Amino acid sequence: SFSGLPLCQPIREIQYQNTYKTQPDQGCKFDASRVQSILEAALATHLAEVRYNQVTSSQLTQRLSEIIRSKVKEATPPRYRLVCQVILGQRKDQGVRIASRCLWDPENDNFATASYTNASLFAVVTVHGLYYE
């Protein structure tokens, strides 16, 4: 403008104060059994007709992780952060052991896991729900 003032006002960033909530609200905890049923349904839906292909397995794993994470996020209470791990492999009568370790609060944090196999592949999904203070 001619007056030297900007035409639009700058947008102020809102600063929120900390709530200092160290516990989730009553009845708002990560429900592992509900999440496990979501995982089992998602694996059965998306892997039923899939054959293992080593070239496309990384994209399939990433896509599965995004789909599962979005579905679980809808069923997760606020203030929980999700870690979704998808392991996909070719089924050739081999043995596989999967383990994970976490530092967490046993009162508020939890996990759910599900596995799926068909004629050519296996998949194991683990979702950790961690309360974020």
What would the pLDDT profile of 91-100 be if each residue is shown by its tens digit? 998 899 999 8
Contact between 108 and 75 under an 8 Å Cβ cutoff? The reply is: no
Residues 42, 46, 48, 52: is their CA dihedral positive or negative?
A: negative
Q: 3-state SS of the chain: helix, strand, coil percent to 5? A: 25, 25, 50
Strand partners, 84: 127
Tokens 């979005």 -> residue: 70
Place of tokens 């009568």: 93
Residue 121 pLDDT > 80: yes
- CB 91 within 8 Å of CB 123: no
Higher pLDDT, 114 or 5: 114
* Average pLDDT rounded to a whole number, residues 100-119: 93
Query: Is the confidence at residue 128, as pLDDT, over 60?
Result: yes
Residue 74's CB is within 10 A of a number of other CB atoms, namely: 7
Q: What is the pLDDT of residue 3?
A: 67
The pLDDT-based confidence of 20 (bands split at 50, 70, 90) is: confident
52 within 8 A of 122, measured Cβ to Cβ: no
According to the CATH classification, is domain 32-131 in 3.40.630.10? no
